[in-house]
Structure formats: C-alpha cells, structure tokens
Amino acid sequence: MLIKYIMKKRNWIYISSLITALLFVVACSDEFLDRQPEGQFSEADVATPDGVENLLIGTYNMVPGGGLEGQTWHNDIHSWVFNIASDDALKGTDAGDQPEQSFIEAYDFQSFNVHIRDKWRGLYKGVANANITLTTLAAVEDGISDERRAQVIAEARFLRGLFHFEARKMWRSPVYVDDTNFQLNDLESTKIPNDREIWPLIEADFEAAVAVLPTTQSDVGRPTKWAAKAFLAKAKMYQGWDEAGNANTTKLGEAKVILDDIVDNGPFILMDKFEDNFKVGTRNNTESIFEVQYAISSAADGASNRGIGLAHPYTDPWGCCGFYQASQNLVNAYKTENGLPMLDTFNDSNVPFETDETTTLSTYTGTLDPRLDHSVGRPGILYKGFKIYQTDFVRDLTYAGPFFSMKHVAEPEAFGQGGWGNLSANNYRIMRLDMIYLWLAEAEVELGDLERARELVNEIRSRAANPAGFVPRATQGAERNDFTILEGTPAANYEIATYDDAWTDPAVARKAVRFETRLEFALEGHRLFDLQRWGIAAETLNAYIASESQLRSYLQGRSFVEGKNEFFPIPIEAIDRSAIDGQPTLTQDPAY
C-alpha cells in the first residue's frame, strides 16, 4: 500500500491531500527488491496518530468528488451530471460537447458510460479511504487518547455512511463495504456480493456517528452530532416511499422524531435572505448543518469547487463551458397566481426570454416567485451581481435554450482568486435547515398533520418573500459589462404569499410540499433523486419530455422507462473487476 499526500493547511478539511492506491505485494528474498521507494509511505509509516489523522483528511478529500486522478466533475458532489436527467436541467453547451452526458439526459443509461463509471469509482474510493482510516487506527496502540480515537471512528463512519448514501441514490443495489470486509493487503477482500439492502448499514454508520460526535466542532467542515442526525433522518426519508409511491409511515415516523429534534433543539436559524445560502461571503452560516468546504487563493486552487467548474456561463468573465442549463419547465414553475404556485397549470404557458430592444430588460410582466432569479439566469435580469444576463451567456441558443444555472457560481467579490476564474470557494450546502423543514413537512403530510406541514412550508415561503432579498432591477450601461442598479426596484414582478387557507386534502398538501421542495432546491442536484424517492419519476419526467421536447428537438422520441430509469446501471467495469476465479461477485440491476 502506497500513500501520497500533501499537508493540511489551516483549518480547512477538504483540500487536495491524501491519494490512496492499493498496489501489489511482491514476495522476494532479495534484499534490494525489498527497499521502500523514496518519497512514498508504507502501511507501517502511517500507523501512527499523525498518520491516522492524515488518512482521515484523505477521506474528507473524497467528499467533493475530485479525489480521482484524471477526472473531477463526473463524480462531483453536486451531482449535476446526473441531475440533467431531471426536469430541472439540460446538459447545455452544444450538441457535440461531452456526448456521454447527452445519453444521460436522454435516459439512455449504459453500463459503460464513463460518467456513471467514475461516480462508482469515486464513491468507493471514498469508502476505501474511510475503511483504511479505521483499520489503520486499530493498529495504533499508543499516542492517541480514547476520546480522540472515538472521534476519528465517528467521523470516518459518518463519511463512510455518506459515500454509501450517495451510492444508494445512484444504484438500486450497490455493494456495502465496511472495515470488517476490508483487508488492506488482500485485493479480493472487498469483492463481496451486492445481495442485500444497504439502507440499514448506512443508518448504522450515521447512528454510530450520532452517539459520539460533539454538538460543535472547532474545525469547519467536520460533522457534528446535528449533521449526523440530519443525514440519518435523510436516509429514513429516502426509504419513506416505495417505487410505486406508497408511503412507508414507519420510516417517515422515525425520520420525524429526528427532524423535530433538529428543529426544536438544534442551534440553526433560517437566514434572512434566500441568496445567502449560495454566496462565498455567507458560508457556514446559521442555517448550515453540513457544508462541503472549498478554499482558494491566488497561489492555489486545488481545494476549490473544481468539480462544477464546467457549469459556468460561456461569456466573460467565465468563458467556459456552458454546461448545466436550466429547463423551460423549471422557469415556468416559478410563476405565481395570487402569490401561490400554480401547482397544476404552471407549464400551460412559457415564461418568455425576450427582452425590450431599447432597455434590454425582460418583457415578461407576469408574477413570479423571487427565488427564480436567484436560481436561474434569464435575459434582462442581473446575474449574481456580474452583469445583466442575455443570451450571450449560453453557448448555443438553438440547442439548449436561453436559461442558465447560477446558485453554485461565486459572486464578483469572490471571483478570479485562482488560476481559473470558474474555480471558487463557494461551498456546497449539502445539508441546511430549510431541507429539514421541508422533509418534516413531507412526513407530516403522510402522518396526518396537514396543518403542521402548512406551517413549515409557510416558514420557507415567508423567508423567500423578504423584499431585502429580491434581485434588484439593473439597467444596461454603454458597455456590455456596465450596469446601474435601481435601488428599491425589484428586477421583476415578484409576488409570493403564504398558504393562508387550512390544508384539508392530503393529495393537495403533498403536491404543495413537493412543489415547494422543487422551488427551494432547484439546480442543487437533488431533483432527480427526489422524484425517485417519491416514486413519481416516470409520470413526472415523461410529462416533462412531452413539453420540453417541443423546444429541445433532441429530446423528441425519448422516454423515461418506469421500473428502470429510476436508477443507473452498475458499471460493467465494476462487475468485471469483482470477479473471483472468473465469476463476478457483483450482479447487474435486473432492469439493465
């Protein structure tokens, strides 16, 4: 086993550090063949307290998804590559760029697709790093306190649970590998069958972390007890419905207990402004429960959000690469009527992208949820403080349309600090209080407390209605990048209200909660998996294809196959490499 690493700097957890690789063992009696290579570290070298800490940092390094040599964005934690199979997003750029993404977008999931392959590789490398940390720690007898030993185990198990959680979202029957399976010098040890449901094992990892982790951490980026509780609740929410959409009230009830605890007893408070969850300057705020940490300076950008660097506008100051555009369907979802979402009719007409020839402002005067212009770039509206968005932001208007994603893009004050301006320290808020509120609302609907669900949804909508958080109107200056903000004037006709009438119909309440979830978390990488866990992916996405294909011709003739496309195929490479004596231990999803 060879280890290569660079040292942790300051208190950042997610940096480019430890890269772990299992190599081969040579049995030979010649002394010169047994010499340790210079500049490398043996298993014995890292079986120390410091070695274990660095192995743990190496495990954290895999969370963003960039710890695989040669690729960073296939396995990016934002899951934007796979969220293009949802109704929120399009691949974007142009037809010839990254054709394997086009197959994902068109629901043609193949076991040899390199994006799917690298997602498996990255997640299971993370699992391996967690297990190496645990097995190495077990060999360290001195120099580490019992308290710190317990903390390392808890953090490693939290991370192992997180990696397996991401795998279970992607695949119907992924394999679970723990430190009892893992033998460092036996390449066959992890070749175990994927013949069991792994949700209980994921829950066990998070439960072990809950039992030990502190309520606060001095290092940002390390999970707290609250983070472990939140992910445990999330795991239960993902088991809250079967593939036919029937509620599992037992699991939802278990999740509710945890979610209530976080809301009632946790230290978290919703930020006053929705946009503060998507800016470098407001990282690790009062709403944040767990963030994937990024760092960048003029001298180093290796710890930046590199995995989503391609998903930036095609115009300056980014200039690359035009991936991850927003769908017309998503933009239409932000239309309002009397301040409320148009749950059933939102897609009957399109929010246009045309602008006034003189003012260059949007010509659309209908009412909109203000979260739209913090989530999607659209013509005539100021784009995250850079300049007024126009169709020059996209690479090919005729291919993927006029709209673009924006939450992950850093604001101007944090732009251009590294070698490539697309790279930033804009953390990925993978777990926040607004998520807890809306999961709890989901559970309350199925458990019968519709009024509590309405109250929770209204908390989210009230925050979104804060005028201080509205995107301001900006007028175009003489040069393309010049603009003037009209203080106190919103960029569009924003109208958002709370649900003031009692909820009495569970079906309507369910639809309202799920619609709110889409509006709040659009383009954050969750939508495809939300549709999957609710058991409504086929009906939702086939309706989406029917409408969106009228604008995007390459989607014509495509369909989402119920019972199949909810999950991705296990990569053929993983199946082939799982063989023992010529027989694979991994079994492909029967749907493929």
State pLDDT tens for residues 547-557.
999 999 999 99
Label residue 22 by pLDDT band (50, 70, 90): very low
Residue 31 has pLDDT above 50, yes or no: no
Q: Which residue has the tokens 């197959």?
A: 103
10 Å CB burial of residue 232 (0-12, 13-18, 19+) is buried
Q: How many residues does the chain have?
A: 592
3-state secondary structure of 556: coil
> Which DSSP string corresponds to 352-421?
P--B-TTT--B---S-B-TTHHHHEE-TTSEETTTEE--GGGSS-HHHH-S-EE-TTSPPGGGSS-SSST
Contact 12, 293 (CB under 8 A): yes
Residue 38 lies in a domain: no
Quick one: 577 and 475 in the same domain? no
Residue 408 lies in a domain: yes
- Among 16, 102, 98, residue whose Cα is nearest residue 63: 16
Quick one: 401 and 516 in the same domain? yes
The CATH number linked to 205 is 1.25.40.390
Quick one: 506 and 571 in the same domain? no
Quick one: 485 and 404 in the same domain? yes
Sign of the alpha-carbon torsion through 258, 259, 263, 267: positive
- Among 200, 208, 308, residue whose Cα is nearest residue 254: 200
Residue 261 lies in a domain: no
pLDDT for the residue numbered 241: 98
pTM of the model: 0.93
Quick one: 380 and 512 in the same domain? yes
pLDDT tens readout for residues 117-164: 999 999 999 999 999 999 999 999 999 999 999 999 999 999 999 999
pLDDT tens readout for residues 284-343: 999 999 999 999 988 788 899 999 999 999 999 999 999 999 999 999 999 999 999 999
pLDDT for the residue numbered 15: 32
Residue 306 lies in a domain: no
Helix axes 433-447, 450-464, angle to 10 degrees: 150
pLDDT tens readout for residues 508-541: 999 999 999 999 999 999 999 999 999 999 999 9
Domain that holds residue 149: 44-237+565-584
- Among 183, 131, 186, residue whose Cα is nearest residue 161: 131
Q: End of a domain among 524, 543, 576?
A: 524
Quick one: 475 and 572 in the same domain? no
Label residue 271 by pLDDT band (50, 70, 90): very high
Residue 293 lies in a domain: no
Residue 452 lies in a domain: yes
Quick one: 214 and 340 in the same domain? no
Give the Cα separation of 357 and 362 in Å (integer): 10
Quick one: 401 and 507 in the same domain? yes
Quick one: 174 and 223 in the same domain? yes
Residue 25 lies in a domain: no
Mean pLDDT, residues 38-54? 77
Quick one: 457 and 572 in the same domain? no
pLDDT for the residue numbered 70: 65
Label residue 41 by pLDDT band (50, 70, 90): low
Cα torsion through 299, 300, 304, 308, rounded to 10:
90
Residue 515 lies in a domain: yes
Element (H, E) at 61: helix 49-61
Quick one: 398 and 492 in the same domain? yes
| pLDDT, greater one: 3 or 395 | 395
In the chain, the number of structural domains is 2
Quick one: 191 and 142 in the same domain? yes
Percent of all residues in the chain with a pLDDT value above 70, rounded to a whole number: 92
Cα torsion through 531, 537, 539, 545, rounded to 10:
100
Q: How many CA atoms lie within 13 A of 160 on its CB side?
A: 31
- Among 438, 440, 435, 443, residue whose Cα is nearest residue 249: 443
